[in-house]
Amino acid sequence: MIGFFRKIRKQLADTNKPLKYFRYALGEIVLVVIGILIALSINNWNQNRIALEEERRWYTKMIGDLKIALENIEFESDRFQGYQIIHRHIYDETKGRASYDPEVKYQAIRWNPEYIAVITENHGGDISKFINERVREELNEYIKEERLAIKAYSDFNRIKLEIVRPFADKHGFMDSEIVFDQVALNWKNVREKEVNIIDHEKLKAQYDSEEFDQILSTLWIQCGYVIYRLEVQKEQIYKLKQVLEEELIN
């Protein structure tokens, strides 16, 4: 490097044309800088193209997951509406407007439903990776709704675990003879609603109590709130799906 500058100095001294050489050297430097900038731009463009292609693959995967999430929500919505039918029937029994119906699965008042957060689990950690701001914002909105649904489920299950089950156990709602004589080892026939494990007479004995009325009211309200959260989440699925499909077309 030192020898190179010595050579330049010698040339300048020999030719006595420093200004001309300076312009030439400056032009060379500019060309080199431009070449470097072009190379960096091409590299950045290529990296962005790869990132966008990867992001579009995520869009396709997410659309598939949204389909699964929608199916889950529709199933859960039907399940909770079924719970409400049971709550209503039991309440009508307490008021003398209905009577025992063997088709009603009274044990549902003990059940704890499970919520599967498909999008949060599969894509919640990818939000910061998305380049597209529109997709990022819509995904954020959906995950907010999914978290609200999770909270609604958690509150519903807390009511079951902390209020309903202790009350049911205290008053012996479960018929132990049916449990041991009819319930399958794997609980399958209960899950498939082939067996009713609730002793209706013991359940009915609590119909005149204020505590039971309050339990039914609490279940009705919280169950209704879960249904509402599922409906809102369903709307968010359609919005997010539309955004993803539009971005894939563009």
Secondary structure of the chain in HEC code, one letter for each residue: CHHHHHHHHHHHHHHCCHHHHHHHHHHHHHHHHHHHHHHHHHHHHHHHHHHHHHHHHHHHHHHHHHHHHHHHHHHHHHHHHHHHHHHHHHHHHHCCCCCCCCCCCHHHHHCCCCCCCHHHHHHHHHHHHCCCHHHHHHHHHHHHHHHHHHHHHHHHHHHHHHHHHHHHHHCCCECHHHHHHHCCCCCHHHHCCCCCCECHHHHHCCCCCHHHHHHHHHHHHHHHHHHHHHHHHHHHHHHHHHHHHHHHHC
Give CA–CA dist 68/64, Å, rounded: 7
pLDDT in tens, 184-217: 888 777 766 677 889 999 999 999 899 999 999 9
Domain range spanning residue 39? 2-249
Q: Would the pTM count as exceeding 0.85?
A: no
Tokens of 96: 């003398």
Residue 140 sits at φ, ψ, to 5 deg, of -60, -45
pLDDT, position 2: 45
Strand partners, 198: 174
pLDDT, position 21: 59
pLDDT, position 7: 58
Render each residue's pLDDT in the chain as its tens digit; 250 residues: 445 544 555 555 455 555 555 556 666 676 677 767 776 666 566 666 666 677 788 888 989 999 999 999 999 999 999 999 999 999 999 999 999 998 898 989 988 888 888 888 888 777 777 778 888 899 999 999 999 999 999 999 999 999 999 999 999 998 888 889 888 888 777 766 677 889 999 999 999 899 999 999 999 999 999 999 999 999 999 999 999 999 888 7
Single-letter amino acid, residue 29: I
Domain total for the chain?
Answer: 1
Give CA–CA dist 75/98, Å, rounded: 27
